[in-house]
Amino acid sequence: MLWYLGRRLLSLPLTILVVTLVLFFLILQLPVEERAKVYMPTMRPNASEEQEQELLQRAIDHYGLDKPFPVQYVSWLRNLVSGEWGYSPTWRQPVLDGLLQRAPASAELALAAMIPAVVLALALGSLASRRSGRLPDHLVRAAAFVAWAMPAFVSALVLINLLYAWLGWFPPGRLSTWANQIVEAKEFRTVTGMVTVDALLNNQPKVWLDAARHLVLPAFTLALAQWALLARVMRSSLLEALSQDYVTTARAKGVPERRVVNLHARRNAITPVISTGGVTVAMLISTMVVVESVFAFDGLGSAATEAMWNGDVQTVVGFTLLSCIVAVLSSFAADVLCWLVDPRMRPTGALVR
């Protein structure tokens, strides 16, 4: 296992390095003055043109923005590693600080979407495969097709008009005004940045309930596409597993059907679901940009949208880089989990009997 993990770990920085090369090539298409503004706060309103040019030239000289491509790339990469990701005029703070400040909200939303999506996908995908060709199978497949085909912004608009504008059940945003005042008070200890978790740690059940109500609509919208894809993968992989010879042999020996499905078939069918789940994190991040904007949820997605509207290139680059790192790490975690779950993926002789 150590050898396998070592090989996968070595591939991670190489993948991220390729991403940084692509991002830096795109950044180089900007004029050098625009790239210099990345590393400096907004100009003073009363600054003269000569003063602005002097400040820009200092930034160009300091960060080597007029040097050859390899020199600039190494310098830019060194700044990334040291945590200097540039300055965001949209947030009026360093890019990395702004990303880390908003990341817990997006992580909270992603968990609220993925956990029920995975559980529901495993349950309904298994039901559809065991009732293949019958009514439950047709219903699950039809629901998954509709959920997968519907764009996120369409389902978001439908849900917000139905469950908020009409029924008034689940509001947009992240917190109500009164709950936000409690969270921002000095007495409230922020431990994780996730309001639902911190509210429990601070013994604030009303704040937790308010945060949970605000999570329902965006989490449900995000979960739709995730559930649809994972349910279809679970159904097809379990159908394939149930048709294998070892399942037929187990049934012939009189093994109960529940034991055949749970112990023999589902264990082998779960591997494609885990692999797909790791890959769908990238899809989840891209969908989150739309969903957070529609529901005014203060996370990375809505902040990235605001930065794009403002032409804040460095913030968009920082968001893209962070998203790629998360996607690469999630893919690595999925590969390791598959390796642990399925002995067939291990090297010869490493099978656990």
Q: What is the CATH number of the domain that holds 308?
A: 1.10.3720.10
The two three-digit tokens of residue 66, written as one number? 């007029």
- Which DSSP helix (H) or strand (E) runs through 61? helix 49-63
Q: What is the pLDDT of residues 48-76, one digit of tens each?
A: 677 777 878 887 887 778 888 888 888 88
Judge whether 194 and 109 are in contact, CB under 8 Å. Answer: no
Task: Give bridge partners of residue 94 from the DSSP assignment.
Answer: 87
Classify residue 90: in a domain, yes or no: no
Say how far residue 182 (Cα) sits from the centre of its chain: 28
How far is the C-alpha of 22 from the C-alpha of 42, rounded, in Å?
27
Say how far residue 271 (Cα) sits from the centre of its chain: 20
Are 141 and 232 contained in the same domain?
Answer: yes
Domains identified in the chain, total number? 2
Classify residue 4: in a domain, yes or no: no
Are 314 and 200 contained in the same domain?
Answer: yes
Are 27 and 137 contained in the same domain?
Answer: no
CA–CA–CA angle 291, 294, 300 (5° rounding): 55
Are 161 and 305 contained in the same domain?
Answer: yes
Which regions in the chain score pLDDT beneath 50? 43, 45, 349-353
Q: Describe the crossing of helices 135-149 and 95-130 by its angle, rounded to 10 degrees.
A: 160
Query: Residue 103: what pLDDT?
Result: 94
Judge whether 257 and 131 are in contact, CB under 8 Å. Answer: no
Query: Residue 29: what pLDDT?
Result: 82
Nearest partner of 333 among 289, 284, 262, 280, judged by Cα: 280
Query: Residue 68: what pLDDT?
Result: 85
Q: Which domain holds residue 58?
A: 16-84
